[in-house]
Amino acid sequence: MRPPLWQPPMDPSAAEQTILRLIKRAKLFVFLRQHRHDLFDEAFQTELGTLYKDSTRGHPPVPPAQLALATILQAYTGASDDEVIEATVMDRRWQLVLDCLDVEHAPFSKGALFTFRQRLIEHDMDRRLIERTVELAAETRAVGSRQLRAALDSSPLWGAGRVEDTYNLLGHALRKALGVIARQQGRGLTEVAVEAQVPLLSGEQSLKAALDCNWDDPAERTAALSQVLVALGAVETLLEQQAAVPEEARSAVGIAATVRDQDVEVLPDNVLQLRRGVAKDRRISVEESEMRHGRKSKSHLFDGYKRHVLRDLDSGLVRAVGITAANAPEASVTDTLLVDLGRQDVQLREIHLDRGYLASDLVRARPEDLTIYCKAWPVRNGDRYAKTSFVLNWEASTIRCPNHVVIPFHPGQTVHFPEDNCQVCPLRERCTTSATGRSVHIHPDERLLQELRARQLTAHGRAKLRERVPVEHALAHMGHWQGHRARYRGTRKNLFDLRRCAVVHNLHAIQHLPAAQAA
């Protein structure tokens, strides 16, 4: 059954006016009470209603506008689902916004809130919440230009899953599989582990305590690893012998096999050892499959995700957000951000970026009227001539060295100056020590990099680079509301969480925008 339109009163009652006067902080409650009818107008409520099937059976659902407001307030306050239900009965600020003043029972259940969140995610309607705040800004504030100046940056988001080393990952996954079998058969974990001939997985003590080895001794570490892998083989055999194996158990054993393949290598004479270095796309948590090792800088390491925010530099609104695994390059998110922007009837004319985004299609496939502002990668070559000492003629596609030797080049390739010229060159000592002559790599977007380097040498260019600072402020605000550790497991759910935090940010930004002039 499609939900009814939510039509709370527009003008605050005397009791509500008293509450409005008493709210000194958390002003978003005040703004939402005053503008909830603008944010959730009839057209948008009808759109939210399409999340529900049109049926004549059952009770009418809770109005989705009311649930959407609760979802926004949940992001604003950091409340859990249980705390949301409690707040609708105990907190007069929540009651003010949700039109349930002095109720004895919550206007909706925890299950209704959870189901609504799932519907938003399934139909990608959490993105529409961001778009609706942008539309509200255009309707009520002085925001109307289609020429967008934006800045894009990222920050770390620690994952919600527990990160473990190889031994504990294997033990955790195998114990999980045995636990599923034990529950299915109504038996204890220890009994199933003994039957499978893997007593070290009995659960009476931790895996490393059960192994009881000297972890500083390489030989004992290798022996312990062999025991764990033997246990993996025994559990795989146990599952093959079962008539009906739950999918959860198969999945857990599959995780253990993945960890073995990525972390263990076999040396000559069948000697096992942990792989040196980190395997590409290494799994680091049993319960959280999408978390990855990442780094914000050489010294700043983290485990989880990256959150990406694209902020309108003129209005302060967040136009689009994205979530990627921590090890994914920044450039991988721009395609989805451009899709989100394409739904907002704006034309991106100026973009301020961190250098990690320079390899994206946003930059490499940019239209001619898009201006890129970014600090260029530094060019270093010690005391010898750097690449910037070579002159590129873009019309003729030639490169000239400091000794005026000219050869052709192609973007994306490495050019090699003739060995004969370099051997007799009077500038050789300042240029190269290679016996085969000097080489210079031409970046696929070298022309842009030249422009960026030239721009940052001027005062005006450096001032333009500083214009990206507001996106760092936006990331700080988002981190305040979302927290530095993910609330959910998985990329999609954390994208939902980031999007509703963007809605909170935009509602704050709208409050500070000048009101639109009446016609």
Q: Residue 176 falls within a domain, yes or no? A: yes
Q: What is the DSSP string of 413-435?
A: SEEE--HHHHHT-TTHHHH---T
State residue 1's pLDDT score: 64
The answer to whether residues 172 and 54 belong to one domain is no
Q: Residue 109 falls within a domain, yes or no? A: yes
Q: Residue 1 falls within a domain, yes or no? A: no
The answer to whether residues 251 and 325 belong to one domain is no
The answer to whether residues 369 and 493 belong to one domain is yes
**pTM for this prediction:** 0.91
The answer to whether residues 355 and 239 belong to one domain is no
**pLDDT tens-digit series, residues 27-54:** 999 999 999 999 999 999 999 999 988 7
The answer to whether residues 315 and 443 belong to one domain is no
The answer to whether residues 348 and 481 belong to one domain is yes
375, 469 Cβ separation under 8 angstroms: no
The answer to whether residues 327 and 368 belong to one domain is yes
- Give mean pLDDT, residues 224-253: 90
Q: Which of 69-83, 213-227, 405-419 has the lowest mean pLDDT?
A: 213-227
389, 440 Cβ separation under 8 angstroms: no
First to last CA, the chain: 41
275, 262 Cβ separation under 8 angstroms: yes
The answer to whether residues 201 and 322 belong to one domain is no
Q: Which of 46-60, 228-242, 401-415 has the lowest mean pLDDT?
A: 46-60
Residue ending a domain, choose from 274, 307, 341: 274
Instruction: Name the band, by pLDDT with cuts 50, 70 and 90, for residue 59.
Output: low
The answer to whether residues 207 and 99 belong to one domain is no
The answer to whether residues 170 and 268 belong to one domain is yes
Q: Residue 75 falls within a domain, yes or no? A: yes
Q: How many residues can be counted in the chain?
A: 519
DSSP state of 163: P
Closest of 181, 188, 191 to residue 246, by C-alpha: 181
Q: Which value, to the nearest 10 degrees, does the dihedral of the CA atoms of residues 273, 279, 281, 286 take?
A: 10
283, 295 Cβ separation under 8 angstroms: no
Q: Is the pLDDT of residue 445 over 60?
A: yes
Beta-strand pair 347-353/147-158: parallel
Q: Is the pLDDT of residue 310 over 50?
A: yes
- Give mean pLDDT, residues 117-136: 96
Q: What is the DSSP string of 377-424?
A: PP---TTS--GGGSEEETTTTEEE-TT--EEE--TTSEEE--HHHHHT
User: How many domains are there within the chain?
Assistant: 4
Q: Residue 342 falls within a domain, yes or no? A: yes
Q: Residue 380 falls within a domain, yes or no? A: no
CATH number for the domain that contains residue 367: 3.30.420.10
The answer to whether residues 253 and 401 belong to one domain is no
State residue 519's pLDDT score: 38
Mean pLDDT of the chain: 91
The whole-angstrom separation of Cα 56 and Cα 1 is 6
Q: How many CA atoms lie within 13 A of 330 on its CB side?
A: 20
Q: Residue 239 falls within a domain, yes or no? A: yes
- Give mean pLDDT, residues 194-220: 86
Instruction: Name the band, by pLDDT with cuts 50, 70 and 90, for residue 381.
Output: confident
The answer to whether residues 220 and 349 belong to one domain is no
Residue ending a domain, choose from 416, 431, 455: 455
Range of the domain at 269: 166-274
Bridge partners of 306, per DSSP, are 156, 324
State residue 284's pLDDT score: 94
Distances in Å between the alpha carbon of 335 and those of 321, 341, 362, 365, 444? 11, 10, 7, 11, 19
State residue 486's pLDDT score: 95
Q: Residue 5 falls within a domain, yes or no? A: no
Residue ending a domain, choose from 231, 248, 274: 274
